[in-house]
Amino acid sequence: MKDILILGIETSCDETAASIVKNGCGILSNVINSQINIHQQFGGVVPEIASRKHIENIAMVVDNAFKEAGLSYQDIDGVAVTNQPGLIGALLVGLSFAKGFAWALDRPLLAVNHLHGHIYANILEHQDISFPAVCLVVSGGHTSLLHMKDIDSYAVIGETRDDAAGEAFDKVARFLGLGYPGGPAIQKAAALGKAGKVKLPRVYLDKNDFEFSFSGLKTAAMNLWKKMKGNEELAVFDLAAEFQQALVEVLVEKSLKAAKIYQVDSILMAGGVAANQHLRLLMKEKAGQENIKVFCPSLPLCTDNAAMIAGIAYHQYITKSYAPLDLNAYPGLLSL
Amino acid sequence: MLILAVDSSTPVAGAALVDEDRVIIESFINYKKTHSETLLPTINRILRECDCSITDIDVLAVTAGPGSFTGLRIGMAAVKGISMAADKPVVAVSTLDTLAGNIAGSDALVCTLLDARKNEVYCGFYEVSGTCPERIKGPMVCTPETFLSIAVELAAYKHQEKIILLGDGYYRYSEYFDIELKDKLLPVPGHLMLPRAAAAGVLAVHKARQGEFEDVYHLRPLYIRLSEAEYRLGKGAV
Ligand SMILES: [Zn+2]
């Protein structure tokens, strides 16, 4: 059978990304132009600036994806693009470019949900995952637990009621003066401190469901910092370590609980926060004790990238689930 | 020279095929749907109706601003995608110049103004004695009051008795302009008041003849304004 080559385009937040993936799993190129340095001075992603950078970078990023793969534009079979969820102005740049590119090449357009892409990042690297499975989606915008019957069939069994995990990392890191983005900043600070020296709550809500809440933990961390401030120089590292520990423990425990209740033997992790080393280690350790396998994408595929978009779109291409030219972008999550 | 021109810089979504100075087909949509939904289907439809494919096109033209930030990017991103995939050169045309192109052979001072929100307008000032508008001031962003005082001053200096106002910026502040300008204001029929992709195409023919093509790897819209966040950081003008 002929190889199917899909170009993926991703501009939902502050990364302009393009990638070419063969048959849904062979990454031929994976180009990411990150704007983190630009947004750092604002302490977070500024949507208008992100959109401005996307329109400046998109053509070069896509061209580089072809160069890296050693392919010409005509070689691809379809054009996949993230059309939800994300920053609307940012999504529209990638979507409009993808439409023009696909239309002019006379190739089908494929619409991808960004979060489906994050989940699929696991399959890009591990074709041996056995389903059903439980998947923990943790990013700056989302914290959800999914019960996955198969690659493309899943139900949300729990979500955060307030802040997403990544959002809590960002807010606390900013409050502690650790910088942006918060996830890597807290991880770095935590490595210099020790969890347990100061005490923060583990917020489980109802121990028997899969709902999350991080705003209480966030506020507790901020209040504690206000009290500690000035007293002890190294305290910020201990606080960062305790905050990370408190958040990660809840994520791990609820994921394991879900795996047991749904009787699955695989846990998948997806999204930017899945890059957190402490989360990866603790999840593997605790799951190992229960004989549950843990899968998580390699670090470059945890954060936003277009390989996951091109990868999942292969399956849409095969079933001819093409998107129309009047496809729109949507900032919120219509359905997971 | 066959030009495909695209404009999505204001609430209007437009696309046109222009062959030298002849308009072959034009689509002008000033309705509720988003540009994201309408633009590519429109381009696809007008080419089909003329039995054209993208390979028949010589040059792509896009209005590059000023205008709605998101609208500008939708048109420009689509044109960048088409340009790369079909290997066609791109000409960028000012949205304000495009508007001024709706008028020809006039003694009046032609002012184009787009609603920039926050009680301001993007504007430009033109002489259009022939068929090609000549910009004498702008593009710039200012309050309707500042805009009007510049227009009156320029008209006096150039001995122009009449002033023409084009663009949705006029509609937004029409009462104020009507009262202030009285019979100095030369009214224009509605079909000339908003930017037309056909006009962008005609202007693009001139630019293409001069070889004024854009590098799609670096092309970006003319915003005039910084983002809010940059203003708050205390940065100056663009
Ligand atoms: Zn993401």
CA atoms of A301 and A106, how far apart (whole Å): 29
Does one domain contain both B46 and B28?
yes
Q: pLDDT tens, B118-146?
A: 999 999 999 999 888 999 999 999 999 99
pLDDT higher than 70, residue B224: yes
Query: A187: distance to nearest CA of chain B, Å?
Result: 28
CA of B17 to the centre of ligand 1 (A): 39
Does one domain contain both A202 and A232?
yes
Residues of chain A with C-beta less than 8 angstroms from the C-beta of B79: 100
Residues of chain A with C-beta less than 8 angstroms from the C-beta of B84: 59, 62-63, 73, 101, 104
Output DSSP code: residue A320: T
Question: For residue B141, what are the β-bridge partners?
Answer: B122
Q: Name the E strands within A85-217.
A: 109-113, 133-138, 143-150, 153-159
Does one domain contain both B58 and B74?
yes
Lowest pLDDT segment from A53-67, A202-216, B181-195: A202-216
CATH number of the domain that residue B163 is part of: 3.30.420.200
Determine the length of chain B: 238
CA atoms of A241 and A251, how far apart (whole Å): 15
Does one domain contain both B68 and B181?
no
Question: For residue A310, what are the β-bridge partners?
Answer: none
Residues of chain A with C-beta less than 8 angstroms from the C-beta of B223: 52
CA atoms of A117 and A139, how far apart (whole Å): 13
Interface membership of A318 toward B (CB under 8 Å):
no
The total domain count for chain B is 2
Does one domain contain both A182 and A90?
no
CA of A159 to the centre of ligand 1 (A): 16
In a domain, B238, yes or no: no
Q: pLDDT tens, B181-220?
A: 999 999 999 999 999 999 999 999 999 999 999 999 999 9
In a domain, A211, yes or no: yes
User: Using alpha carbons only, what angle is made at residue B198 by residues B196 and B204, rounded to the nearest 5 degrees?
Assistant: 110
Determine the length of chain A: 336
pLDDT higher than 60, residue B178: yes
Does one domain contain both B76 and B161?
no
Q: pLDDT tens, A102-136?
A: 999 999 999 999 999 999 999 999 988 989 999 99
State the complex-level ipTM: 0.96
CA of A228 to the centre of ligand 1 (A): 34
In a domain, B145, yes or no: yes
In a domain, A123, yes or no: no
Does one domain contain both A159 and A56?
no
- Band of pLDDT at residue A180, cut at 50, 70 and 90: confident
Pair A247, A217: CB distance under 8 Å: yes
Query: A209: distance to nearest CA of chain B, Å?
Result: 40
Q: Do A326 and B41 touch (CB under 8 A)?
A: yes
CA atoms of B4 and B2, how far apart (whole Å): 7
- The fraction of chain B above a pLDDT of 90, given in percent, is 91
Closest CA to A145 of A59, A252, A48, A66: A252
Question: For residue A145, what are the β-bridge partners?
Answer: A136, A158
- Band of pLDDT at residue A234, cut at 50, 70 and 90: low
In a domain, B154, yes or no: yes
The total domain count for chain A is 2
Q: Which two tokens stand for residue A261?
A: 């209740």
Residue A55 has its nearest CB partner, among B76, B85, B86, at B76
pLDDT at B229: 87
Does one domain contain both B204 and B172?
no
CA of B115 to the centre of ligand 1 (A): 35
Provide the domain limits for residue A90. 5-118+302-318
Interface membership of A116 toward B (CB under 8 Å):
no
In a domain, A257, yes or no: yes
Q: Do B38 and A103 touch (CB under 8 A)?
A: no
Interface membership of A49 toward B (CB under 8 Å):
yes
- Which phi and psi (to 5°) does residue B57 adopt? -80, 140
Cα dist from B232 to B143, B221, B229, whole Å: 20, 21, 5
pTM of the model: 0.94
- Band of pLDDT at residue A188, cut at 50, 70 and 90: very high
Interface membership of A330 toward B (CB under 8 Å):
no
Interface membership of B9 toward A (CB under 8 Å):
no
Query: B23: distance to nearest CA of chain A, Å?
Result: 22
Q: pLDDT tens, B140-155?
A: 999 999 999 999 999 9
Does one domain contain both A85 and A164?
no
CA atoms of B47 and B24, how far apart (whole Å): 10
CATH number of the domain that residue A34 is part of: 3.30.420.40
Does one domain contain both A106 and A144?
no
Interface membership of A97 toward B (CB under 8 Å):
yes
Does one domain contain both B142 and B182?
yes
Q: Do B81 and A326 touch (CB under 8 A)?
A: no
Does one domain contain both A145 and A209?
yes
pLDDT higher than 90, residue B234: no
Q: How many CB atoms lie within 10 A of CB A257?
A: 18
CATH number of the domain that residue B201 is part of: 3.30.420.40
Does one domain contain both B13 and B38?
yes
In a domain, A213, yes or no: yes
Does one domain contain both A44 and A141?
no
Q: What is the mean pLDDT of residues A46-60?
A: 97
**Residue in chain A nearest B81 by alpha carbon:** A101
CA of A137 to the centre of ligand 1 (A): 10
Does one domain contain both B33 and B46?
yes
In a domain, A276, yes or no: no
Pair A274, A247: CB distance under 8 Å: no
Report the half-sphere exposure of A277 (CA within 13 A, side-chain side). Answer: 9
Does one domain contain both B200 and B186?
no
Pair A3, A23: CB distance under 8 Å: yes
Q: Which two tokens stand for residue B19?
A: 């062959």
pLDDT higher than 50, residue B238: no
Provide the domain limits for residue B171. 103-192
CA of A308 to the centre of ligand 1 (A): 10
Query: B232: distance to nearest CA of chain A, Å?
Result: 10
In a domain, A182, yes or no: yes
Does one domain contain both A198 and A149?
yes
Query: A18: distance to nearest CA of chain B, Å?
Result: 13
- Band of pLDDT at residue A204, cut at 50, 70 and 90: confident
**Chain A contacts in chain B segment 170-229 (CB below 8 A):** 216-221, 223, 227-229
Does one domain contain both A241 and A313?
no
Q: What is the mean pLDDT of residues A80-108?
A: 97
Lowest pLDDT segment from A158-167, A312-321, B169-178, B206-215: A158-167
Interface membership of A62 toward B (CB under 8 Å):
yes
Does one domain contain both A113 and A135?
no
Q: Do A42 and B80 touch (CB under 8 A)?
A: no
Residue type, A269: M
Does one domain contain both A155 and A77?
no
CA of A117 to the centre of ligand 1 (A): 8
Q: Do B229 and A56 touch (CB under 8 A)?
A: no
Does one domain contain both B119 and B200?
no
pLDDT higher than 50, residue A145: yes
Residues of chain A with C-beta less than 8 angstroms from the C-beta of B76: 55
In a domain, A124, yes or no: no
